[in-house]
Amino acid sequence: GQQLNQSPQSMFIQEGEDVSMNCTSSSIFNTWLWYKQDPGEGPVLLIALYKAGELTSNGRLTAQFGITRKDSFLNISASIPSDVGIYFCAGQNTGNQFYFGTGTSLTVIP
Partner 1 sequence: DAGITQSPRHKVTETGTPVTLRCHQTENHRYMYWYRQDPGHGLRLIHYSYGVKDTDKGEVSDGYSVSRSKTEDFLLTLESATSSQTSVYFCAISGSGTSGPYEQYFGPGTRLTVT
- Binding residues for partner 1, rule: CB under 8 A, are 1, 3, 30-31, 33, 35, 40-45, 48, 50, 88, 90, 92, 96-98, 100-103
Q: How far is the CB of 47 from partner 1 (least distance, A)?
A: 10
Q: Which is nearer to partner 1, 43 or 83 (CB)?
A: 43
Q: How far is the CB of 36 from partner 1 (least distance, A)?
A: 11
Q: Which is nearer to partner 1, 43 or 85 (CB)?
A: 43
Q: Which is nearer to partner 1, 35 or 73 (CB)?
A: 35
Q: What is the spatial distance between Cα 22 and Cα 24, in angstroms, rounded to a whole number? A: 7
* String of DSSP letters for 38-100: -TTS--EEEEEE-STT-EEEETTEEEEE-TTSSEEEEEE-S--GGG-EEEEEEEE-SSS-EEE
